[in-house]
């Protein structure tokens, strides 16, 4: 949207400015955070903060899984598909693209709209 507005307001220069504005600050932020991490990762206080942040990230992920599961795992087939993904990727450690290549076609066939029986 910013690139579109930049194009409408100032042509190519506006589009380039908008694109630079959208990408430069996140890039600088990530580089500063990476530098800070590699510079201070062995400081005990920083280790404690990162340990707490990782615990919070795990808790947020579990909360998201629970909320998504409540909305989507409403019948037997979605539960079986989720279990198949978990077993293939989580237990057997198959790569995600292979897991999806197996499970996604089954899910699409199951979810494909059908004509109602008359």
CA distance 78 to 96: 18
Is residue 108 located within the same domain as residue 88?
Answer: yes
pLDDT of residue 35: 95
Query: What does the block give as tokens for 21?
Result: 């504005």
pLDDT of residue 43: 93
- Domain housing 77: 73-112
Q: Is residue 117 part of a domain?
A: no
Q: Is residue 3 part of a domain?
A: yes
Q: Is residue 118 part of a domain?
A: no
Q: Is residue 4 part of a domain?
A: yes
pLDDT in tens, the chain (118 residues): 989 999 999 999 999 999 999 999 999 999 999 999 999 989 999 899 989 999 999 999 999 999 999 999 999 999 999 999 999 999 999 999 999 999 999 999 999 988 876 6
Is residue 81 located within the same domain as residue 63?
Answer: no
Tell me the per-residue pLDDT of 58-83, one tens digit each, with 9 for 90 and over.
999 999 999 999 999 999 999 999 99
CA distance 57 to 64: 11
Is residue 78 located within the same domain as residue 58?
Answer: no
Is residue 31 located within the same domain as residue 5?
Answer: yes
Is residue 67 located within the same domain as residue 84?
Answer: no
């Amino acid at each position: 949207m910013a690139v579109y507005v930049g194009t409408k307001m100032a042509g190519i220069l506006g589009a380039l400015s908008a694109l630079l504005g959208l990408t430069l600050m996140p890039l600088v932020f990530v580089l500063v955070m990476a530098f800070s991490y590699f510079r201070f990762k062995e400081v005990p206080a920083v280790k404690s903060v990162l340990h707490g942040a990782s615990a919070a990230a795990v808790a947020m992920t579990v909360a998201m899984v629970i909320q998504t599961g409540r909305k989507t795992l409403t019948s037997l087939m979605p539960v079986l598909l989720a279990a198949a993904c978990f077993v293939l990727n989580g237990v057997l450690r198959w790569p995600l693209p292979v897991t999806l290549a197996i499970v996604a076609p089954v899910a699409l066939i199951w979810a494909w709209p059908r004509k109602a029986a008359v």
